[in-house]
Structure formats: C-alpha cells, structure tokens
Amino acid sequence: MNNKGKLFVISGPSGAGKSTVITRLLKQLNNVYFSISATTREPRRGERDGIDYHFITREQFEQMIKNDELLEHAEYVGNYYGTPERPVDEKLAAGYDVILDIETEGASQVMARRPDAIGIFLFPGSFSVLEERLRLRSTDSEDKILRRLEKARQECKKAEMYDYIIINDRFETACDEAIAIMTAEKCKTAERLHYLKED
Ligand code: 5GP
C-alpha cells in the first residue's frame, strides 16, 4: 500500500509571497507538514524560534553539516539556511505531505537526492512588483534589498527545473493553483492504483 506522503519543494524570490501561500495551504489541506529550516540569520520581528525557523549560530550550523543532518543547505545573502532531514523523513513515512520553502540552490540538491520531489516556483508577476514588496518589508537595509533583488534575478533563471510555475499576481488565484497542483499530484495513478487491487 502506497501511503507515504509527497515532498513538495516551493521556491521563488523572497517577496514572491511564498510564506503567505504556504500558510493558506497548511490551513486548507489535511496532513500537510511544513519543514522548519535551520538558519543563521537574525529573527525578524514576530518570528518565533522553532516555529518559523530554528535560529542557530554558524558553529551549530556547521556542526549539522558535519553530522550529515541536513537534506540540503545553501548560503543566501550572507546566511546559512538548511533543511533538517530527519523530521522530513519521519513525516513522509507517517503519510504527511511535506512542504519545503527553500531557495533554488537547495532545491536542486533536493531534486537530485529525491527524484520524486515536486517542484513549484512562485513568481510575483513582475520584477517591479517584487522590488516594491521587498521595500515594504522595511526590516532590510538598502544594501540587503539590492542583494535580494539581484539574487531574485538569478533565481528566476533556474525556474525551468521546477515542475510548475505559479504567478502570484492575485493571492487567491495563486493559492487555488497551489492547492490544485498538490491535489492533482495526490491523484496520480501511481498513488491511487492500490485502491483498485482486490484483497
Ligand atoms: P528569508 O530570509 O526571507 O526567510 O529566506 C531567504 C530565502 O531562503 C528564501 O528564498 C527561502 O525560501 C530560503 N530558505 C528558507 N529556508 C531554507 C532552507 O532550509 N534551505 C534553503 N536552501 N533555503 C531556504
């Protein structure tokens, strides 16, 4: 019986609206687990340790790399980000679908290690909308905003490696599309064929 969950990798430039779309997915769909990443970046206002991220030091992060505890990791605008592997595998084995919110370098590591992973790339609709959203998130300095914008341009060049692209110019539509993708993936023949087998 095929009751393992599916692994969804969601990427897109910061400012594309990944977190808000993912929050909606978690509310609307059953048996979905959001993978909590480890990062060395400082928490933003309102972010909680162990819920939004595991906020750790560079030393702790490097130790996790050494211990081979990460499914993937990457450096992004001067900080480390990585996905602890064990919780992902535990949730998949328990039948949960798992969502990773990660940038493109980490995503390509996951695609290589987990060929069954489904990649979804989220884009805000245009680069000017992206810049506006990054500026509204005023916690970042001008230098950081420019680096994130440059990074966004590089990330968009990698959109081809994903299975799906969602244009988030209207939040409701973007959520509907993400739900449609996840639902369709669960209805694939390979997922459902076991129902048709006689005892
Ligand atoms: P932010 O600092 O805005 O929360 O995240 C910056 C970027 O890091 C985003 O594109 C986000 O998707 C990515 N990110 C978050 N967690 C991880 C992770 O565990 N691994 C990788 N490779 N990227 C991550």
pLDDT recorded at residue 77? 85
Nearest CA to ligand 1 atom 14: 102
Maximum C-alpha span of the chain: 63
Q: Mind giving me the DSSP string for 56-98?
A: --HHHHHHHHHTT-EEEEEEETTEEEEEEHHHHHHHHHTT-EE
Mean pLDDT over each residue of the chain, to the nearest integer: 93
Measured between alpha carbons, how far apart are the two ends of the chain, in Å?
A: 11
Does 127 reside within a domain? Answer: yes
Which pair of structure tokens corresponds to residue 17? 């609206």
- Quick check: is 147 in a domain? yes
pTM score, two decimals? 0.93
For the chain, how many structural domains are there in total? 1
Q: Which atom of ligand 1 is nearest to the CA of 79?
A: 2
Q: Which range has highest mean pLDDT (33-37, 144-148, 193-197)?
A: 33-37
| pLDDT-derived band at 1, boundaries 50, 70, 90 | very low
**Nearest CA owner, ligand 1 atom 18:** 82
Residue ranges around ligand 1 (CB below 6 Å): 14, 37, 41, 72, 74, 76, 81-83, 101-103, 105-106
Amino acid, res. 165: I
pLDDT (tens digit, 9 = 90+) per residue, 153-167? 999 999 999 999 999
Report yes or no on 1 lying in a domain: no
pLDDT for residue 2: 60
The domain in which residue 45 lies consists of 7-196
* Residue 148 clears pLDDT 90, i.e. is over it: no
d(CA 103, CA 93): 24
| pLDDT, tens only, 101-132 | 999 999 999 999 999 999 999 999 888 988 88
Give CA torsion, residues 65, 68, 69, 70, to 10 deg. Answer: 70
pLDDT at 83 over 80: yes
Kindly give the distance from the C-alpha atom of residue 137 to the centroid of ligand 1, in angstroms, as a whole number: 16
Tell me, rounded to whole angstroms, the distance of Cα 21 from its chain centroid: 11
In a domain, 95, yes or no: yes
- The secondary structure element, H or E, covering residue 46 is none
Mean pLDDT of 34-56: 96
Q: Say if residue 25's pLDDT is above 70.
A: yes
CATH number of the domain enclosing 112: 3.40.50.300
Per the CB < 8 A criterion, the answer to whether 11 and 164 are in contact is no
Can you read off the two tokens belonging to residue 90? 């535990």
Residue 2 covered by a domain: no
pLDDT band at 149, cuts 50/70/90?
A: confident
